[in-house]
Structure 1
Amino acid sequence: MNISSQLALTAKTNPMKEAYVFEGDSKTYAELNAAINAFASGLEAMGIKKGDHIALVVGNSPYFIVGLYGAARLGATVVPINPIYTPDELSYILRDGDVKAVITLDLLVPLFEKLHHYLPDTETYIICETPDGKEKAKNFPVEQLSLFPKMKSFTSIMANGSFMYEGPELQDDDVAVILYTSGTTGKPKGAMLTHKNLYRNAKDSADFLKMNDSDKVVATLPMFHVFCLTVALNAPLMNGATVIIVPRFSPQAIFETVKKYEATVFAGVPTMYNFLLQSQGDVEDLKSLRLCISGGASMPVALLQNFEKKYQVIISEGYGLSEASPVTCFNPLDKPRKPGSIGTTIVNVENKVVNELAEEVAPGEVGELVVRGPNVMKGYYKMPEETAHAIRDNWLYTGDLATMDDEGYFYIVDRKKDMIIVGGYNVYPREVEEVLYSHENVVEVAVVGVPDPELGEAVKCFVVTDQPVAQVELLAYCAERLAKYKVPSSIEFLEELPKNTTGKILRRALKEKLGV
């Protein structure tokens, strides 16, 4: 069984059940399944086959669902990518991921027009129409683009497909998705998630959260991110629930959406909950919610308690990582939750805390959190050494320091790596440092995370230069090469950076200088 075949089963047993709602339009499971069949067979007709890699560069929309599940039914491997990535970030993933076809929005055609010359292995660009894109196209002769011969419309592929397509036989160990995660080396690593990984984690998460076919789940987290992909998309569709797609988060949009559709489940990162708490929304607007889910970053205890008190709804905080599909823990719904904890282990997954000798430590002691289960990735794409380092004796080493109490509740103490979490997005210092090091006047740079009242953390840089450079120039330089959430919030210039006796830059000393 896999996510695509499970959806097909739901379409047979409950065909008229609403599968998703998007901007006032809705589709039943029967209609969604037919669209998935048409798209999968249309891809096959144009030469895409089982095992080929397809990038999905679209926002939250039905295009994402049909693209993901259609590719899965064909047996192709999907590479979801953030649509706001810069050309450098996009081209690296498309090349490293051996992407044969790209599904993207018409608004991004100018970007791919600039990029496609550097992507010789990418044969096809499947263009999804948007209202804004169609309006701009009136003054934009796409037929004159050098990219045009490689372009096909999403609609035409659907039209050439068959509603009765069954697809090839898929194996549990076949790679369904490659999720690129920021790496400590400065280059993203592709975590290979199999059909079994996705299916088991979605099912086990849904069971833990007691999702059922009467639930209506708000999907406003980015669908390309593994948190939304599993918890707000695959898990509800696994159980015949309805997904309410919200393209962009805003407190007003959430209040209106939850009230209009009587949503029962909302998933978000702490930043979203903070915005909802600080807004002037009516408490009655969220009264239909039975459960809120938080992940992506640690939620401050005060925020959790104040939100629950104001809106009278439970927040279950959990933990996960891309390499684990992602969920390993959630605060349980049937026994006391512990604010500040990431909860207890979900079914079919094992978590434990170990020391440097891989020995499990006693409750209350700090060690590295390691994970084992059917949700753990197959490995990093084309990175056998990194895979061997991350997965040892079938245990995934998360890189996070944690403790476990006597009742099996886990607590994240600190990040073993120097990762910065900006509004739920992971930012690795080395990735930002590499960009700044490429500036001709930058001699040394160190990046740390600092507290931010809205985003949880912000990126701060300490820079040493050989010539005077304005802060605004370096920020603009970063903005051209990094996604918006990775761009530093501030840059501080120093004569030299603190180092140890071997010459290693001491980020901890810089944090102490800032009092964080």
Structure 2
Amino acid sequence: MNLPSSLKNTACKNMDKTAYYFMDKPVTYGELDAAVSKFANGLKKLGLEKGDHIALLLGNSPQFIIALYGAMRAGISTIPVNPIYTPNEIQYILENGDVKAVVALDMFVPFVDAVDAHLPKVEHYIICETGPAQTRTEYTHPKLKSFSRILEESFPVAEEVPLDDDDTAVILYTSGTTGKPKGAMLTHKNLYSNASDIGEYLRMSSRDRVITALPMFHVFCLSVAVNAPLISGATLLILPKFSPKEVFRVAKKYEATIFAGVPTMYNYLYQYEAGTPKDFATLRLCISGGASMPVALLKNFEKKFNVLISEGYGLSEASPVTCFNPLDRPRKPGSIGTNIVHVENKVVDELGNEVPVGEVGELVVRGPNVMKGYYKMPEETAATIRNGWLYTGDLARMDEDGYFYIVDRKKDMVIVGGFNVYPREVEEVLYDHPDVVEAAAVGIPDPNQGEVVKVFVVSKNESLTEEELLGYCRERLAKYKVPQEIEFLDELPKNTTGKILRRSLKEQVLKKQSSKS
């Protein structure tokens, strides 16, 4: 079984069941499945074949789901891309991912002229119009196609394309420690098994109505708030973007039963004065991931809204979920929970030996959800997957009841509002500035986003300002990767081998913050 086949089965059994609401408009499983088949046929008519790659530069929308499932039904691999990435970041992924077609919003059209000459492998740009159908643009650029026209001109029944469990369904680009993103190849088996196991673990059913407010291009949303509900025959309540006002409105109007979000979202919901427990009266479960939730926030949120929050853990390379706090046993605040169905976690030392209960080591994972590797990176793959175990790079411990706790991030990753930022990515940009001699990026606590990036810089130009460097970063980095603070130093702390000591810099920041409080 795979995701597009599961969708077809649900549509055949329950054609008139509402698959999703978007902008308060309901669409049935029958209508969704027909659109998916039309898009699969449309991709074939454009000359795309099984094994080709397409990229999605879309926000939360029906088009994202139709394109994703349509591509999978046609045997084509999909690369979801954060649409707020800069042109340089997008271009790298499209080049490295050998993308043949891009599905994007119409605001992407000006970008086509700027980068098309640098992307010879891209044959089609499929544009999703945001205006009324009657004002649809007639494109003159030969590579530009209309998403809606593709659906209008295609048949609703797709020719069956044989899909093997090990075929690559999605490639998720994750920030790399080398400064360049790595494409985690997730197979049909990876995605289906994780969505199915999530649904079973969280007891999802056709009666559930899931608020889909996390960004769909992010693997957390993709598996927990899209794939798992669709496998379960549930109804998605799709929000174009996260808004506390809209979350409360949609939850109340459609009697939502599940909400999934990162701690930042829960903080905004908790602080939103107009939100009341009555708005969340039908919620049976809230799911948190992407970063550790402060225990105080978890307890305050649950007390205010009288709803359970289940914290979990995952990473792109594991499709992503490996742990959740169980629903049939006591939760442990601060813990990421226990193994989900069919997935095994353990904590090991540097030699790969499991450490005793309570001791800290690296968290490793194995199961049908573990990726088959990084795209075109065999050495990185071999370093990450060893003897069938995925080495997460996160330091953790396990207690006597089998609950896991993340202790630290071995790879110095910074999590900004649930999004991963590696210090090296930011540093590489700064090192390109002619006046920067050295740079070190660290994550510092932030009450709204969990963490933000702070950078320490050594400059050879005394007149270089913080605002100038921030502007330089804004042009080259996605918004959430841009540093919130830049501090100039005469030199950066280093060890005897000359390695910059990021931990020392972070400790200085925390010490200053502590003394102020």
TM above 0.5, yes or no, is yes
Deviation at 1:42, TM superposition (A): 1.1
Letter in 2 for 1:204: D
Aligned counterpart, 2:35? 35
TM-score, length basis structure 2: 0.97
Q: Residue 107 of structure 1 contacts residue 132 of structure 1 at CA under 8 Å; is this kept in 2?
A: no
Specify which of 470, 474, 486 is matched with residue 469 of structure 2. 474
Distance in 2 between residues matched to 1:134 and 1:486, nearest whole Å: 39
Deviation at 1:386, TM superposition (A): 0.2
Specify which of 474, 482, 486 is matched with residue 491 of structure 1. 486
Deviation at 1:249, TM superposition (A): 0.7
Distance in 2 between residues matched to 1:308 and 1:131, nearest whole Å: 40
Task: Describe the shift of the 1:212–1:128 C-alpha distance in structure 2 as closer, same or farther (beyond 3 A).
Answer: same
Letter in 1 for 2:278: E
Local SS of the residue matching 1:364: coil
1:39-438 matches, cutoff 5 A: 39-131=39-131, 143=140, 148-280=141-273, 281-438=275-432
Q: Residue 325 of structure 1 contacts residue 376 of structure 1 at CA under 8 Å; is this kept in 2?
A: yes
Distance in 2 between residues matched to 1:512 and 1:330, nearest whole Å: 31
Distance in 2 between residues matched to 1:242 and 1:285, nearest whole Å: 18
Task: Describe the shift of the 1:126–1:431 C-alpha distance in structure 2 as closer, same or farther (beyond 3 A).
Answer: same
Distance in 1 between residues matched to 2:297 and 2:218, nearest whole Å: 23
Task: Describe the shift of the 1:133–1:31 C-alpha distance in structure 2 as closer, same or farther (beyond 3 A).
Answer: closer
Task: Describe the shift of the 1:434–1:132 C-alpha distance in structure 2 as closer, same or farther (beyond 3 A).
Answer: farther
Aligned counterpart, 2:514? none
Letter in 2 for 1:306: N
Deviation at 1:113, TM superposition (A): 2.1
Q: Residue 444 of structure 2 contacts residue 510 of structure 2 at CA under 8 Å; is this kept in 1?
A: no
Deviation at 1:107, TM superposition (A): 1.2
Local SS of the residue matching 2:307: coil
**Long gaps (5+) in structure 1:** none
Q: Residue 52 of structure 1 contacts residue 99 of structure 1 at CA under 8 Å; is this kept in 2?
A: yes
Runs of 4+ residues deviating >4 angstroms: 132-135
Q: Residue 259 of structure 2 contacts residue 285 of structure 2 at CA under 8 Å; is this kept in 1?
A: yes
Q: Residue 107 of structure 1 contacts residue 133 of structure 1 at CA under 8 Å; is this kept in 2?
A: no
Local SS of the residue matching 2:475: helix
Deviation at 1:112, TM superposition (A): 2.3
Distance in 2 between residues matched to 1:242 and 1:273, nearest whole Å: 22
Q: Percent identical across equivalent pairs?
A: 66
Distance in 2 between residues matched to 1:131 and 1:473, nearest whole Å: 37
Distance in 1 between residues matched to 2:255 and 2:452, nearest whole Å: 35
Deviation at 1:20, TM superposition (A): 0.7
TM-score, length basis structure 1: 0.97
Distance in 1 between residues matched to 2:152 and 2:132, nearest whole Å: 23
Local SS of the residue matching 2:78: strand
Distance in 2 between residues matched to 1:382 and 1:288, nearest whole Å: 46
Deviation at 1:508, TM superposition (A): 1.2
Deviation at 1:512, TM superposition (A): 1.9
Q: Residue 178 of structure 2 contacts residue 424 of structure 2 at CA under 8 Å; is this kept in 1?
A: yes
Letter in 2 for 1:315: I
Deviation at 1:306, TM superposition (A): 0.3
Local SS of the residue matching 2:217: coil
Q: Residue 404 of structure 1 contacts residue 411 of structure 1 at CA under 8 Å; is this kept in 2?
A: yes
Distance in 1 between residues matched to 2:35 and 2:377, nearest whole Å: 35
Local SS of the residue matching 1:481: coil
1:23 and 2:16 are equivalent in the alignment: no
Deviation at 1:117, TM superposition (A): 1.3
Local SS of the residue matching 1:7: helix
Distance in 2 between residues matched to 1:158 and 1:52, nearest whole Å: 20
Letter in 1 for 2:103: I
Distance in 2 between residues matched to 1:176 and 1:512, nearest whole Å: 42
Distance in 2 between residues matched to 1:360 and 1:422, nearest whole Å: 31
